[in-house]
Structure 1
């Protein structure tokens, strides 16, 4: 048994060398300090990429694999905002909100940590192959599983505890009841970490889990600044993440990424001056409820704000 274990250990190290990956132990300087504090702290961590990101301030951003356009927009807004402020975005490399959050952080010039439910050498899901390559170049992939180990049901709850364990705060963007993202928030609470949730429409099943968390006392995540505040990074850093450049008027800025067709139409209409909601409805050619829903989503993103008398303007 002992000789076999030694051989297996040598084989693992050889595979890590072949990938250009490595392994960290808890007493290594690059081992994430927050992970040392959690119950069932990992005895080792396989790492692939820039390990320096593992000791930087980090926020977990998680959510459903099946998500709405609103959820994707919210994930982009939050992930890109905190990434520009120097916060590393942690997520689980799954389809949906996880992939959106990783991509937004990298697109913003920031860093991201992907926590895997499989070993190196296995791409799961296969659709994320390009994202795997980007993550190794612009962040770090981590896992407890040996190279070549395939994903299995029991691996994902353990992965989720690492997502929250690596982060000072965990934000859930969209989550239906029973979603794995809610397992991550449970882990965060068990670890004594802050949990934030993105509020959503009460008619949306994928927002029910988030709305329940807020009902139970979680703070709403409305802007990147809400996350930065939980991490103890308010003030100038918060301002740089949320405000446009000095002297740049809303009309001079390009449209925010990820807008729906209706949201883009409303943004274009509001570029010149504030408009009453009736004028926006008339210009959009949509029913009032659809326009109000789109305006609410834009307000949550920090793109528009409402003035007295149902006037709306760009921020």
Structure 2
């Protein structure tokens, strides 16, 4: 059994894992030549430069990195209540070890035990249809009902729907961030972010305070698919970023399932093309569960979202108003977040919220935030 790294070596591994331009191949070269991350950071420039694949700029970046920088990042992660994970740690997810570009360091906030769970990734468009949100909840319910952990990317749209449905079904979920802890992106997901850190797990390879950029989402997407045996695509327009996750899943040898959509729907153009090109369709829960023959039904997830508190039956609410009520809980949720979860525009959602307020089963707080009364 390999002994855990010393505090100094752990800090060096964190620092080396964050050096720009040092991916898995270069990191492997460095650790082979220098034995340890501390040795790699301490090696002379000319020695580093002589290693295969280590360019002048790369060697310079390594020499300008120190163990102290790793220690500082570790303190920042701890200040957020998080944990640093490096390859070799017991909690480092073994399912990521053999993907094409495994992360050199991960930062985790929440329930670390979820990293050992069988998981399914559920992804889709930011701009989705009501059909998409309904399908997403159906998939999540099936997954949670078999004890699977739901992985998604904490973006607005179907990512948020997937996470919230998993939590509302009393299931487990991992949110992979394209930024560091302390940055809430998108801002409308603040309530979801706080709930995930309490009830689920937030995971990122970006240090605290790191803001998202176009490249960071591509890196995030490979972790979403890497953590799961199957990636289910709910909706994706032509050119959707969701298709990057599909490419990552296929390169990792993971299965991909796709929800068919109407040929008239712009948000289903990408998914329908995937089906045309041979992707496995998701038509019913058994399609997904067939990929996890070892799991059995659990108590969690066997109900529906409506199994949460219902409005009094005597109230003359429409079906839509009851559905909106079921998305509310005791934590105030911003209108933008409700729009994502319900899958309806503000013009439809606000009258329903007003009706719920009028009947005394919901209330509004400053900042367009709503909760169950």
TM range (shorter): 0.7 to 0.9
CA RMSD across the alignment: 2.5
1:71 to 132, 136, 146: 132
Contact 2:132/2:235 (8 A) holds in 1: yes
Give the Cα separation in 2 of the matches to 1:174 and 1:102. 16
Q: Which residue of 2 aligns with 1:223?
A: 284
Contact 2:170 2:300 survives alignment (8 Å): no
Measured after TM superposition, the shift of residue 8 of structure 1 is 1.6
Q: How far apart, CA to CA, are the structure 2 residues paired with 1:222 and 1:131?
A: 28
2:111 to 32, 45, 50: 50
1:22 corresponds to which of 46, 60, 83: 83
CA distance 1:189–1:3, shift in 2 (3 Å): closer
Does the Cα contact within 8 Å between 2:124 and 2:234 map onto a contact in 1? yes
Runs of 4+ in 1 over 3 A off after TM superposition: 1-4, 238-245
**Pairwise CA distance, 1:224:** 2.9
CA contact (8 A) 1:45 1:142 kept: yes
Tell me what 1:8 maps to. 69
- Give the TM-score normalised by structure 1: 0.74
User: Matches of 1:207 and 1:119 in 2, distance apart?
Assistant: 31
Please tell me whether the aligned partners of residues 223 and 242 of structure 1 are also in contact (alpha carbons under 8 angstroms).
no
Q: Name the SS of the counterpart of 1:154 in structure 2.
A: helix
Number of the residue aligned with 1:39: 100
What 5-or-longer segments of structure 2 have no aligned partner? 1-61, 305-312, 324-373
Q: Is the 8 A contact 2:169 2:300 kept in 1?
A: no
Superposition deviation, residue 222 in structure 1: 2.1
Question: Aligned with 1:195: secondary structure?
Answer: strand
Residues 72 and 97 of structure 1 are in contact (CA less than 8 Å); yes or no, is this contact kept in structure 2?
A: yes
1:107-256 to 2 correspondences below 5 Å: 107-233=168-294, 237=296
Q: Which moved more, 1:91-100 or 1:131-140?
A: 131-140
**Aligned counterpart in structure 1 of residue 145 of structure 2, from 69, 76, 84:** 84
Query: Structure 1 regions of 5+ residues with no counterpart?
Result: 246-253, 265-315
Change (3 A) 1:244 1:100: closer
Q: Is the 8 A contact 1:61 1:75 kept in 2?
A: yes
The structure that has the greater radius of gyration is 2
In structure 2, what is the Cα distance between the partners aligned to 1:46 and 1:196? 29
Show the 5 A alignment for 1:257-268: none
CA drift of 1:242 comes to: 9.3
Deviation sequence 1:66-109 (CA, Å, 0-9, x none) = 00000000001111221121100000000000000000011111
TM-superposed deviation, 1:51: 0.6
When the two structures are superposed, what TM-score results if normalisation uses the length of structure 2? 0.63
User: Secondary structure, in 3 states, of the residue corresponding to 1:189?
Assistant: helix
Q: How far apart are 1:7 and its partner, in Å?
A: 2.4
Q: 1:233 to 1:260 in 2, by over 3 A?
A: farther
Shift of 1:61: 0.2
CA contact (8 A) 2:145 2:302 kept: no
